Amino acid sequence: MIEYAIGGGRMKQTVNKEYYLKKAQENLPKLFSDDISILNEFKQLNSGDSFVIDLGNHYVGYFSFVLGYTDIYPDAPVRLRVRFCESKDEIDSDFTTYHGSLCPSWLQEEIINVDFVGEYKMTRRYAARYIKIDVLFTRRTITLSNFVFSAVTSADKSRLTPINIDDTELENIDTVSVNTLKNCMQRIFEDGPKRDRRLWIGDLRLEALTNYYTYGQCDVVRRCLYLFAAADCDSDGFLPGFLYENPIFVSGSWFLRDYALLFVVSLCDYYLYTGDEKTFLDIYPVAKKQMDAILNAVDDNGIVVVKDKNNIFIDWNPALKKITSMHGVYLYTLKILCKALGEMKHHDAQMFERRYQDAKQAAICHLYNSTENNFANEYDNYQISVHSAVWMILGEVVEGDNAWEILQAAMSDKEGPKPVTPYMNHYLVEAMMNLERNKEAMDHIKFLWGMMVKEGADTFYEIFVPGKPDFSPYGDSLINSRCHAWSCTPSYFIRKMLKGK
Ligand code: RAM
């Protein structure tokens, strides 16, 4: 059984908590380990010296090295600064000027005192391509050698088949995508191995999708679904957006309505991919609870209105108005839920189908602007955003050429908010694919993810806005993660397209 904490004044929410945690434990994936040995040997190091080790790729794991000396035993501890960098620009940046809103302790840097010669193993897990070591103080000349980075992942690379495509650009993008997923696949689907190193619903959904088309490992998906099923809901009945599971299970404290619905979507995806009705039905009560909870947010017009904007994610663009997108997430969830329930001939299918039709009608009446043929509406202060267009397309409020026209207009609108995360760009690509614009979807993947590859990315970044390398939702781009789960989905799109389903 996984031990759990009851925190934040919330009560243990589900009678099945112990059961769900037990199932989560049963599905703990096996971790694979690969040692990357770096043969460099640094002799003659003194205080003030520094060097950088290049691992040759981005990895997640544990670091060790051997301390030695040249002629006189170092009769004092050797103090080193060890910095783990996901990208080149972290190597020399000044961490002391960091001014972001997230805790600087996420920046991967340690000051260690090495007391003895011989092997030294650092105990924390790091995410890195480069490791910079500064010798801060040493009494005598030392040597450092036998560097080993023990990379860990639960992704079984023997299950991964290469893609067969006559397009080098897409091939390279696929390589970086699966590497991103591999490094985020640990005991759970982590969002980012540098930061926040936890399970978020939005990330889980996209990692699971990509996993179905790449490593195809379903234990870790089941584990994540069961973990959320065991989580403590808020007083409105919504699941938290995130949770921790190691060393003890802790429910998160941020309750995002769109993420709560995407939990339902993730469960349906799992069933549609595996056909595992038993697991679906096991967790279905928690999914249904989310669908009941969201009903309380439906206003007299039939639109989902979440009063506090902080309870909706959608994207990190600060200018974004979110009601239309949120309603689109609701429609999208209903659609996939009807599909899953319909396939298993579940008696709730018709009830959700009626709810879908009502919610779609409400969107046509109150969110769609027929005069201008867009989604500029009173709820969102007449804002035209790519996000609204995307989610209304995914909710199938508009279809075909007309939907394409609306999307194009939103994308080229000078003022309107655009996606700033690969996460939101995923849904943009999905909308394009739904409209059977595969070529344009691939072009967008080449444009956005391809640009990261051209920049030398080994893994895809959490935030990527072309032309704005310093953009960060956290006030300082130093804290942005450069290997982020929600950015791994090009492999899903490319492989799905090649497979034809
Ligand atoms: C950030 C992380 C995570 C995401 C949330 C909403 O903290 O990047 O991946 O899901 O935001």
3-state secondary structure of 244: strand
3-state secondary structure of 336: helix
CA distance 156 to 293: 38
Question: Is the Cβ atom of 473 under 6 angstroms away from ligand 1?
Answer: no
18 domain residue, yes or no: no
Q: Return phi, psi of residue 433, to 5°.
A: -65, -40
The residue among 153, 188, 219 that closes a domain is 153
Q: Which atom of ligand 1 lies nearest, measured to the CA of 256?
A: 6
71 domain residue, yes or no: yes
CA distance 407 to 432: 9
pLDDT of residue 501: 82
45 in the same domain as 184: no
3-state secondary structure of 13: coil
pTM for the complete prediction? Answer: 0.96
Stretch 299-309: mean pLDDT: 97
Pocket test for ligand 1, best of 203, 224, 244 (most atoms within 8 A of CB): 203
411 in the same domain as 349: yes
Judged against a pLDDT cut of 80, whether residue 6 lies above it is answered with: no
Question: Is the Cβ atom of 193 under 6 angstroms away from ligand 1?
Answer: no
pLDDT of residue 14: 56
pLDDT of residue 5: 72
11 domain residue, yes or no: no
Question: Is the Cβ atom of 196 under 6 angstroms away from ligand 1?
Answer: yes
270 in the same domain as 388: yes
Find residue 121's DSSP bridge partners. Answer: 64
What pLDDT digit, counting tens, does each position of 185-204 carry? 999 999 999 999 999 999 99
Question: Is the Cβ atom of 269 under 6 angstroms away from ligand 1?
Answer: no
The domain of 492 spans 157-499
221 in the same domain as 339: yes
Judged against a pLDDT cut of 80, whether residue 4 lies above it is answered with: no
Pocket test for ligand 1, best of 101, 102, 191, 486 (most atoms within 8 A of CB): 191
378 in the same domain as 311: yes
Q: Say which CATH number the domain at 53 has.
A: 2.60.120.260
Q: How many CB atoms lie within 10 A of CB 448?
A: 21
3-state secondary structure of 467: coil
Burial profile 413-431: b = 16 or more Cβ within 10 angstroms, e = fewer: beebbbbbbbbbbbbbbbb
Determine the distance from the C-alpha atom of residue 168 to the mean position of all C-alpha atoms in its chain, rounded to a whole number: 26
Question: Is the Cβ atom of 462 under 6 angstroms away from ligand 1?
Answer: yes
Q: Which residue is closest in CA terms to ligand 1's atom 1? A: 196
The residue among 105, 127, 153 that closes a domain is 153
CA distance 259 to 419: 17
Question: Is the Cβ atom of 430 under 6 angstroms away from ligand 1?
Answer: no
Asked if residues 385 and 424 have their Cβ atoms less than 8 Å apart, the reply is no
Spacing, Cα 449 to ligand 1 middle (Å): 18
167 in the same domain as 123: no
Q: Which residue is closest in CA terms to ligand 1's atom 6? A: 313
What pLDDT digit, counting tens, does each position of 228-287 carry? 999 999 999 999 999 999 999 999 999 999 999 999 999 999 999 999 999 999 999 999
Question: Is the Cβ atom of 486 under 6 angstroms away from ligand 1?
Answer: yes
Structure-block tokens of residue 330: 């609701």
Closest CA to 83 of 30, 130, 139, 124: 130
What pLDDT digit, counting tens, does each position of 406-435 carry? 999 999 999 999 999 999 999 999 999 999
CA distance 226 to 291: 18
The amino acid that residue 17 corresponds to is: K
Spacing, Cα 86 to ligand 1 middle (Å): 18
pLDDT of residue 114: 98
Pocket test for ligand 1, best of 183, 200, 266 (most atoms within 8 A of CB): 200
Judged against a pLDDT cut of 90, whether residue 486 lies above it is answered with: yes
186 in the same domain as 110: no
Element (H, E) at 251: strand 250-251
Spacing, Cα 252 to ligand 1 middle (Å): 12
Question: Is the Cβ atom of 313 under 6 angstroms away from ligand 1?
Answer: yes
Spacing, Cα 387 to ligand 1 middle (Å): 17
For CA atoms 281, 282, 287, 293, the dihedral sign is positive
Q: How many domains does the chain have?
A: 2
Lowest mean pLDDT among 8-12, 159-163, 245-249, 495-499: 8-12
Q: Which residue is closest in CA terms to ligand 1's atom 5? A: 200
What pLDDT digit, counting tens, does each position of 456-477 carry? 999 999 999 999 999 999 999 9
Find residue 82's DSSP bridge partners. Answer: 110, 133
Grade residue 207 by pLDDT with cuts at 50, 70 and 90: very high
CA distance 4 to 251: 9
Asked if residues 143 and 41 have their Cβ atoms less than 8 Å apart, the reply is yes
CA distance 232 to 253: 9
Q: Which atom of ligand 1 lies nearest, measured to the CA of 192?
A: 9
CA distance 57 to 129: 5
CA distance 380 to 324: 7
Stretch 175-181: mean pLDDT: 98
Question: Is the Cβ atom of 240 under 6 angstroms away from ligand 1?
Answer: no
202 domain residue, yes or no: yes
Spacing, Cα 481 to ligand 1 middle (Å): 10
Judged against a pLDDT cut of 80, whether residue 9 lies above it is answered with: no
